[in-house]
Chain A
Amino acid sequence: MSDIELSINGKRVRRSVEDHQLLVSFLREDLGLTGTHVGCDTTQCGACVVSVDGATVKSCTMLAVQAHDTAVTTIEGVSSGATLHAVQDAFHRHHALQCGYCTAGLVITAIDLIEREGGQLTRETVAHTLKGNLCRCTGYQNIITAILDAAGCLSAPAQVAQ
């Protein structure tokens, strides 16, 4: 067991964890933050993506002990109260999800992408960036449109849902 102390969605958390516990299971099972999903468990699908110290990571391939002394943001931490984050809002308006299993990871990835590279995103760069996030339902078209919209990079206004 190891004692870890970290910030989760802005709140200090102190816990004892088994050294072999994965970050995703710590979030879901110990903290009840079940918005982060496990899809593949083989580091491929990105359903489990969270942000650790401002960098997106696959939480199924990081140990909870490795998150000691970091600041973690999960999907539960991106909206402020009842007001959706601009990316969540765009996903909603553009119908960028079907079953929603991949959505938490995609929203975290999209927020990171826009914060780092917003303003100059194109369909191609967004599609390229989503390589680490697999969606089995949507075919990605609406996901990409939603991300471009949230970034203010949707060049063809006709594409915006009314």
Chain B
Amino acid sequence: MRPFTYHRLVSDAERRTVLQSSGDAKYISGGMTLLPSMKLGLTVPSDLLDVTGLPGMRDISIEGRRVRIGAAVTHARIAEDAALRAICPAICDLARQIGDRHVRNRGTIGGSVANNDPAADYPAALLSLDASIQTETRSIAVADFLCGMFETALDEHELVTAISFEAPDAARYEKFPHPASGYAMAGVFIARTGGSYRTGITGASGQGAFRCADMERLLNAGAPVEEFASLGFDDLVIFEDRFGSRAYRENLIRVLAHRAAVHLRS
């Protein structure tokens, strides 16, 4: 790895000072994506700003049904948090399916959403939960935040501080992991609040995670799950590679949606 200067941030004032005096600075949270790409020389930052010690970044708070998860909360914490499980178990189950236990112990929700990997798990949940991404200056609706493969609405050096959402009445995440990498070949998150459904689908599309209006219509109409077989994705760029054809991935989405819907209705 190329040399760089590491800064363990403790305050926002310090963050701004370090950013002013450094060249090509990057934040580091869990490092599970950043360090492997630095080892490969894909990114060569002059300064790494460790954000995990900033105030509030590691807190989970729940007020009524409003959930706020600090950006530096690890996947392992999300998987195990009892209060979160009590109000939104689907997000805990999703976190438990990320990578392996060593990766979950370091990787964070903030790092994951800032990275917006088209095969990452959280984007599906956040779309379905209509989450907001909090930064140090603003709150961004997730639909505006996710701008396609590895792209987000973040300005340069804008810091994700928290993710927040209203807990749904019920939700379910179904994932088909790539057998080698463990990332989603497809993942479908469905949330129900007051009889109304929202979906989020990840892993399958070069546009990144997306909602599926047709699927939501079937769910809201209480259509028999067999009708999911008719769902089409012609208007989307669906991945087609040596791991799976377009038809295979489209079918995966239908099957996973079917499973999630059956679970939610039982």
Interface residues, chain A, CB within 8 Å of chain B?
A: 2, 18-20, 22, 41-43, 46, 49, 55-58, 61-63, 65-66, 68, 109, 112, 129, 131-133
Contacts and interface: CB of A to CB of B under 8 A. Distances in A.
Contact of A132 (B4, B5, B36, B102): B102
Interface of B: 1-6, 8, 31-32, 35-36, 39, 48, 50, 76, 99-103, 105-106, 182
11 contacts: A19-B4, A19-B6, A43-B32, A58-B106, A61-B31, A61-B32, A63-B35, A66-B6, A66-B50, A109-B102, A132-B101
Contact of B103 (A19, A20, A112, A132): A132
- 4 shortest A-B CB distances, which residue pairs? A132-B100, A19-B6, A55-B105, A131-B100
B14 to A, nearest CB: 15
Given A19-B48, A131-B182, A46 B6 contact: no
Query: For the complex, would chain A's binding face be called helix, strand, loop or mixed by DSSP majority?
Result: mixed
Nearest to A55: B105
B3 A18 contact: yes
Contacts of B50: 66
Given A56-B102, A132-B102, A62 B4 contact: no
B150 to A, nearest CB: 18
Contact of A20 (B4, B76, B100, B106): B4
B106 A57 contact: yes
B43 to A, nearest CB: 13
Nearest to B180: A44
B106 A61 contact: yes
B79 to A, nearest CB: 12
Contact of B101 (A19, A68, A109): A109
Contacts of B103: 43, 58, 132
